Chains A and B, each alone.
Chain A
Amino acid sequence: MISRLSAIAFNTFREAVRDRVLYNLVLFVLLLLATAPLFGQISIGLERIILINVGLSAISLFGIVIAIFVGIGLVAKEMDKKTLYTILSRPVRRWEFIAGKYFGLMMTLVVNAAFMAGGFYLALLINARGLQRADVGLLIAIYFTILQFFVMTSITLLFSSFSTPIFSALFAFSLFVIGTFAEDLRNFAAMSHGVTRWLVTGAAYLVPNFSALNVISQVAHDAPVSGTLVLWNSVYAVLYSLTTLAAAALIFERRNLK
């Protein structure tokens, strides 16, 4: 099982690399390095905050875009081109295919994020002419961003297990936007009454809570992130991803592949 999962995951990663998905890194690093000296001219003391905000948000945005646009094609492409036929005619369970694809895209996103983080720290180094002790804390924000990728990739796979790529992209992007405002939705639920309260609360807990996984502005202002939040966010992301992946596998298990 492990061998089959790793074979599918590695092949997915290899496809992303050879299809030049990681070329976005070059764009990201060039953009950051080119603009880093400009931040110094904005305002003394603010340039670091702005650079952290821009840099970390870009890591998150680039990753989410890849998660959605590569993710929607993971199953659909294999079905369209019928490569799935030669996979399912082997001792590969359908859930193994879904899980392998998930890990392959996650591998791509983690490598992508790692390179971007390197570029980001380089920009920080150029801008501040040295790194501060507090900059290590920025890694927590990057870690949370990777947790967002875990959740987003599972959501994209869920949609692509039963829907067309266009609808999958639309659904996944909508959920990302709603999930970014999940805390506001929960606050709104708390203020509501009756059936509305139940409905909004249900929706608020069903959508992925991306706002809890975003501590960019917190770390940009050197505010500490508690160990408890790190733990709960990790548990939340793993459980949410597992549940979503299980749903994707369940749907895919019953699907007739025409």
Chain B
Amino acid sequence: MAALEIQGLAKTYSSGFWHATRKVALQPLHLNVEEGETFGFLGPNGAGKTTTLKLLMGIVFPTAGSARILGHDFHDPEIKKQVGFLPEQPYFYDYLNASELLDYYARLSGVSREQRHKKIPALLETVGLGEAGRVPLRKFSKGMLQRVGIAQAIVHDPRIVFLDEPMSGLDPIGRREIRELIVNLKREGRTVFFSTHILSDAEALCDRVGIIHKGLLRGIGVIENLKSKIADTSEVVWRGTDALATVSDLLTQSHVTGEVVCGVISGQNQDLLLERLRHQGAHLISVTPIHGTLEDYFLEHTSEQETITT
């Protein structure tokens, strides 16, 4: 079953006295996330990631489209018992301590007193705040706040968790801790939908990713598949500079060191190049495939729009 089905969700903000200035924050978005999947929603700052999450959480209202979470309309308040959410750079009531905060959010999600008493100390242990349960949140570091943020998102045992830039602003240790928490969520069978612009986090955690830029979904799929869509190139090295003139039209780059030539070629021209080299009697030294990275794919799909608009 799809944990999340987004059907043409779109958002345009109007501003100005007569609401005359319009800004498209999200163009109609179609997206499905399966139950148990960890889905990364990638995009540069201002791409529309937070807007999408705000729409799904009912914080802002869509201009068009709808969505279903675990088979229910996303506006249905009851489905939110199954939903956890961590906003970007969260602020929590600093006059509360971590235990009180979790108790408050658990009450709002309808968790019984008995369950709260049992669950909250255990959850604080899970997120590494076992000792800090009674410490006021105003004394928490950013990393601790982020961990308590994840704890509040799962205190009611939701089936799907939305995390908005959960690793932003954290030091490498903090990022690793949050990464481990997300891995645990996946291990527990929860669906995780998280937005990020840190590609290494997405590569490490996600089953699938979607790339959004300027409010438009640019690509979606399994990371390996996306990477394979990046122009497939190989590095070919041979001995014999005489052959260079006959293959130069196939090469995108070349470099000569003495008698050795190193050339970069797209995958589709590889056979042709090898055939010509054989004809010319060049001595082939190596053929090394150059793999595309998620970063390449990301840059290709997020710079494309820049070219169109400029």
Q: Is B60 an interface residue (CB 8 A)?
A: yes
Query: In this assembly, does B262 line the interface, its C-beta being within 8 Å of a C-beta of chain A?
Result: no
B108→A91 contact, CB < 8 A: yes
A-B contact count (CB 8 A): 78
The answer to whether the Cβ of B297 comes within 8 Å of any Cβ in the partner chain is no
- 15 further A-B pairs in the complex, CB-CB below 8 A; given A3-B110, A86-B85: A3-B107, A4-B110, A15-B93, A19-B95, A83-B91, A86-B90, A86-B105, A88-B59, A90-B156, A91-B77, A91-B80, A92-B77, A92-B108, A256-B59, A258-B13
- In the assembled complex, A82 has its CB within 8 A of some CB on chain B: yes
Contact A85–B93 (Cβ < 8 Å): no
- Give chain A nearest CB distance to B185 CB in angstroms: 16
Among B13, B86, B95, B109, point to the contact of A90 (Cβ < 8 A). Answer: B109
Asked if residues B110 and A91 are in contact (CB atoms below 8 Å), the reply is yes
Establish whether residues A91 and B58, one from each chain, have CB atoms under 8 Å apart when the complex forms.
no
Are A89 and B80 in contact, with the CB atoms below 8 A?
yes
Give B contacts to A, CB under 8 Å: 13, 54, 57-61, 77-78, 80-81, 83-87, 90-93, 95-96, 104-105, 107-110, 152, 156, 162
Determine the chain B residues whose CB is within 8 A of the CB of A85 once the complex forms: 54, 57, 59, 85, 87, 90
Which one of A83, A90, A257 contacts B60 once the chains associate, using CB atoms below 8 Å?
A257
Q: State which size class the interface on A falls in.
A: 20 to 34
Residues of B near A8 (CB, < 8 A) are: 108
How far is the CB of B49 from the nearest CB of chain A, in Å? 14
A87:B108 contact, CB within 8 angstroms: yes
CA distance A84 to B61 in the complex (A): 15
CA distance A91 to B219 in the complex (A): 32
**List of A residues within 8 angstroms of B91 by Cβ:** 81-83
Interface residues of A in 26-44 (CB under 8 A from B): none
Q: A81-B91, A85-B87 are in contact. Are A256 and B107 (CB under 8 A)?
A: no
Partner of A7, one of B54, B59, B95, B104: B104
Q: Chain B residues near A18 (CB, 8 Å)?
A: 95
The yes or no answer to A93 lying at the interface (CB within 8 A) is yes
A15 to chain B, nearest CB (A): 6
Q: Does A14 contact B (CB under 8 A)?
A: yes
- Rounded to whole angstroms, the CA-CA distance of A81 and B78 in the bound complex is 25
Contacts of B107 in A (CB 8 A): 3-4, 7
Give the residues in chain A near B84, CB-CB below 8 Å.
89
Task: Quote the shortest CB–CB distance from B69 to chain A (angstroms).
Answer: 11
Instruction: Report Cα–Cα, A3/B96, bound state, in Å.
Output: 19
The interface centre, meaning the residue of A14, A83, A89, A258 with most chain B CB atoms within 10 A of its CB, is: A89
Q: A89 to chain B: which residues have CB within 8 Å?
A: 57-59, 80, 83-85, 162
Complex CA gap A59/B195 in Å reads 51
Q: Within the assembled complex, what's the spacing in Å between the Cα atoms of A208 and B86?
A: 41
Q: Tell me whether A11 is interfacial, beta carbon within 8 Å.
A: yes
List 15 A-B residue pairs with CB atoms under 8 Å apart, sorted by A's residue number.
A8-B108, A11-B96, A15-B93, A15-B95, A18-B95, A82-B87, A86-B85, A86-B86, A86-B90, A88-B59, A89-B80, A90-B81, A91-B77, A91-B80, A256-B61
A33 to B162, CA, bound (A): 56
Residues of B within 8 A of A14 (CB): 95-96
A87 to B61, CA, bound (A): 16
Q: Which of A91, A93, A254 has the most CB of B within 10 A?
A: A91
CB nearest to B109 among chain A residues: A90
B105 touches A258 (CB 8 A): no
Taking a contact as CB atoms under 8 Å apart, the answer to whether A91 and B93 are in contact is no
Task: Flag if A90 contacts B108 (CB, 8 Å).
Answer: yes
Tell me the smallest distance from the CB of B112 to a CB of chain A, in Å.
Answer: 9
Q: Closest B-chain residue to A11, C-beta based?
A: B104
Partner of A11, one of B13, B60, B93: B93
Contact of A257 among B59, B78, B80, B95 (CB under 8 A): B59
- Expressed in whole angstroms, the minimum distance between the Cβ of A159 and any Cβ of chain B is 20
Output the nearest chain B residue to A16 by Cβ-Cβ distance: B95
A140 to B110, CA, bound (A): 39
Is the beta-carbon distance between A4 and B108 smaller than 8 angstroms?
yes
- Tell me the bound Cα distance from A4 to B107 in angstroms: 7
Q: Which residues of A contact B85 (CB under 8 A)?
A: 85-86, 89
A89: nearest residue on chain B (CB-CB)?
Answer: B85
Residues on the A chain within 8 Å of B93, using CB? 11, 15, 83
